[in-house]
Structure 1
Amino acid sequence: MSKTVSITSAAQFDGLLKSSRLLVVDFYADWCGPCKQVAPVFEKLSQALSRENLVTFAKVDTDSQKDIAQAYNVTSLPTFIVFRNGKVADKVTGANPLKLQAVVKKLSDEAASLQNNGGEGSSGGDSDDNWRGAGLPRGYTDITSQIEVQRTDLLNVDLTTGGVRALFQSSKPSALSKGKSATKDWVESDTDQQLMLFLPFQSMLKLHTIQITSIPPTESDDDEDDDEVPTRPRTIKLFTNRPHNLDFDEAEDMAATQQIELSESDWNADGTANIPLRYVKFQNINSLVLFVVDGEGDSEKTRLDRIRLIGEAGEKREMGKLGKIGDEPGE
């Protein structure tokens, strides 16, 4: 009996992305001759390597499931996509059995590692060393690594908390881990609730979503007995394609590329707000200024634990050179 899953809906596909560590998908059509030629190879691999909740093989008919095919930019058939923890890890286009077998050989080794470790492989997206506070929107990846960290600039930061680099760590925030951390891996504002963060990028980005994690301590936290308990951001302004950081008066008066108002319901159990952007306004950007205008409470401090950028990375630019592309629209 075939172990390959035939996808009949987007909901079913999303379920497999969440339930299986590794998902190998054959995008095909009944009228496609090359698809039929390579189908037996795919089926043999499915029979040999399928592992419940670890490795799943699936087929997507691009005629009946056009939305799924479009979401992953499938423009030629057959196309094979390997997903790892819900993210695109590899892609093979065309009826190329040798290339498909090479990709799946790599998959086979990883599957064996997953099985030997009881399903807890080192590449898991939810591990403490590769942590993200919210899931990825379909078709996009985590591009936080595109930040040119050495040129970032953070204004009004309390110097007794972690530096700006702490915001982009891939590790799980210490506030969500057991026990106390010896070092503070988050940042807090200093004299008031406002923070101004300048992020230059290594390449031109198409930014789809920002994920912000903020985990203020409770008032009963022993470490905060002598300090004012910080709060989460409420109002955030975003400015794109700036050659350097803004000052606070300038940012207060300037029209933002997008202004965001967060409420308590926007924060999930891991203290993360998943913020979708007006995608058309965040195409081809080489920098971002994130301005925390105010926090949600009366505290004079706001806190940020992690920031993740989700989207697509384009052509890499020469490091250290950042030019303003054009004027921002005034709305």
Structure 2
Amino acid sequence: MTRSWTRRGEWIETDLPKKAAGPKGTPEIGAVSSPVLGSPDESIADDKLGSDETKSTAENANAAPSAAASFLPSAEALAAAAIGVPVKLARRLLHAGEVQIRGNRARLRLRPDEPLGFEPVWTEDGLEALYEDDFCLVVRKPAGMPVHPDGGAARPTLANLVAAHYQMNGEACAVHHVHRLDEYTSGPVLYAKGEFARLALDAQMRGKNIGRVYLALAEGQVPRNLRVIDAPIGRDRHHNSRRRVSPGGQEALTRVELVRTLRAGRASLVRLTLETGRTHQIRVHMAHAGYPLIGDTLYGGSADLLQRQALHGESLGFEHPFTGENIEVADPLPTDFQSLLDRLR
């Protein structure tokens, strides 16, 4: 279900679903007196509106004792239906005063102030936002910049730049990436703003519902009949940084599409779609198939043409955590990748 919202200061307002809304003049429903059963770590998919718990209207401790109360949905059910969360989470939000029901409208506090979690750092090139609203942010990650600090040498990371972006725009929310890219892979990275969006987007990630499509330049002539690489990936016992195809590894599936053969078969432009998100998945799978990525010396590629793996996130797709709308974000090829592609044609 898609929903629209109106921003009113620190609150987001949205209509209640027509089947759930009470009669005109329903009083405001605030915190409930029932105990808080949910926790921030619960998956959104764990609880369904329409469970036995939500069907009972007797649990609504805030309903006025009137004839109308006998058929009104509970406050938790109304809130859950309006903002698209499990009833347990809706109860917790109501209890904390973060959600209110007023007649046929629901109000969700946009988010309480949170510490950024990372030191804000400004760089000369700055941060390029590809998509942004009150719930999520998609930014372009350049090749050579880690997504977050790794305990090594002190240097700016994407997390530091996002923290600076939030600070500059007066947004006090924790920097939370929903997925990662390798340090030398370029492309879009999705961030969730606030707990509500974190729960929803993390659940999408666990459910493999966030689409990630990549472009890569591989060595050799990738055959058109190579459509799927389905091979488990595990750690390489002989190299801390490497992964390898291993029978005892985690399930990993990559879909492959040959876009163009280059230099009479000496290189190939391929489009790759991840069905799973294992560390170095595309790099391991392409090397395992016999077509390592150009520049990927860790997995057998040559650095003669490019000093990093020729891998770029072409697009990112996800369901908006609040509206339910399908969001597609494209990221054009970076200069070094495009330049190499032009030379190879």
TM-score (norm 2): 0.29
Higher relative contact order (CA 8 A, sep 6+): 1
Who wins on radius of gyration, i.e. which is larger? 2
Query: Which one has a larger percent strand, Structure 1 or Structure 2?
Result: 1
